[in-house]
Structure 1
Amino acid sequence: MPTSADTAAANAPLAADELARSAEVIAAVTAQFEAKVVGQERLRETLLVGLLTGGHVLLESVPGLAKTTAAATLAESVQASFSRIQCTPDLLPSDIVGTQVYDARDASFTTQLGPVHANIVLLDEINRSSAKTQSAMLEAMQERQTSIGGQVHRLPEPFLVLATQNPIEHEGTYRLPEAQMDRFMLKDVLDYPSPEQEAEVLHRMDRGVYAPGRAVAPAATLEDVRALRDAARRVYLDPAITRYIVGLAYVTRHAETYIEPRLARFIEFGASPRASIAFSAAARAAALLAGRDYVVPEDVKSLAHRVLRHRIILGFEAVAEQVPVETVVDAIVAAVQTP
């Protein structure tokens, strides 16, 4: 049981040497990530925020934008175990969490843990799996455990789920429930690389950077990741920033009072308190990635799309008028006074 001394140490401000060590580890991981992944700076930040907070990430893009490469590279750079699960309509919950196998030799059952028992799990095209299979991930994502044959199995720490979905294909897909969407701390939408970045990808292919079996050199350890998580939790969050975060979430639920009526009527449901929790944790991680031991309003603003785009539910009118959720998020951010 934690003592008062343990609690005080966990809440102590970051020392200068801790901040310097965190910056050193982050720079090393960033260098290894950029050695394999071209461009995608925001994706790198999103993945690192997820890693530093333990918050799961939903990635949306057309195929071929390095989502799998980025996830595998991140795992390699911190010496984490990595699993990739290709979601299909016939995927069963036991294919993810594991199952019990009967051994006829001694008439007993043995437990075979599924691929979700890894530090970093990539759920590729999560919207292709059925609702039953998606629900099996809720326990893993929220409780950090799985239940097999009545036995609870804890997931490794750190544990991070990176899920992807393809926005241009709808045949054979299932809509993610709002309850599951809310479990993702961030949702990032990736865009195509610039011509220069795409040319660099081809050059690296010629040099064999993406050859099978060629991994990046480890830049950190899981113990370093745990230390970074501890440091991120202790980044200072001023009460004024906390009120700013709560104000953003509040306006999503009472938009008609604060933003343009035309945009406000598109919102069916605002963000839950998980949005405020996500903002708080992610802003601390973003500050640490920037080399600071305190959060500034710009940290929160830079995360607004990623925290809110999957938590604000728009009605059919927004779809009919082709109003993206990011437009609504921008209006909400503009309506709340920056501290």
Structure 2
Amino acid sequence: MAAMQVIQADFLGKVSYLMLQHASKVLPPGVEEAIRRAAAEEPNSKGKAYLEAMVRNMEVSRARGVPLCQDTGVPMFYLDLPPALAVEGDVRAELEEATRKATRDAPLRQQVTHPLTNVNSGDNVGWGAPPIFVNYNNRIDYLELLAVPRGGGAEIKSSAVVPIPGAPKESTILKTVLDAVAMAGGENCSPNIVGVAVGGFGIDFTEYLARRAIYREPLNSRHEDPQVAALEEKLFRAVNNLGIGPLGVGGKTTCLGLHMEIAGCHSAVFPIAVSFYCWSARFSRARIYPDGRVQFVTHPELNKEFPHGT
């Protein structure tokens, strides 16, 4: 058994702060490339105009160092940990402080509120925010951190269902996804990245998988299971064939990418979740190695900030 190695929580906080700031202003390269390609290829004149405006939006945001969208999102964190690596210190406290600092410095809009009173915390921290998800991954030897400033427009159109036992699998999945996209009607700030999850025991886990599926890279890459990959491709084409287009004005670009995840489930349960991310699909991924090296995956321009790790 390998000796346990340790990363300090305060270092994790420093990396997270930088990631949140940058993610709010610069899209991952795959997302930016997909939007530029869509703008060049969209035949619908209204849809093309909106896509070209999105391209200008990205360029202005990068040039001026300002957030991509007025809805700068609620920060969320996903940590993947390998078996022989631990984090020493108060992870929640450090990620909360990173959120406070990014809210002040990016700046991020102050939008975490109490669900009943609408009292605003003033710093995007409070009542369980920011949410932190931890996954133990025995296929990696580094800590992977995903920082996501997730906006509300796409989230409110996400959905989950539990069809009746015995429902035909593929046609039910297809109908569920297309119904969700059609009901959103572009109000989820399309073109979207669509995350789909099937299976899992407990609809909360299915929803988690659908949201995680959104952040798969490369964008629109296919699942390792050939059956799932074939269904992903069928869903991707079907969604774009709806003709909803950018922001619902029409066109062939409703979806920039569609990723599907599966999980084992009870034989009597068949949950399906659909999660959306808006065109401004902001997230930042970094890997922290046991020796303190940091690799910024989505935003390699940040690697200079930690040239020698800790």
Which band: TM-score by shorter chain? under 0.3
Task: Select the structure that is richer in helix.
Answer: 1
Please identify the structure whose Cα radius of gyration is greater.
1
TM-score in terms of structure 1 length: 0.25
Task: Select the structure that is richer in strand.
Answer: 2
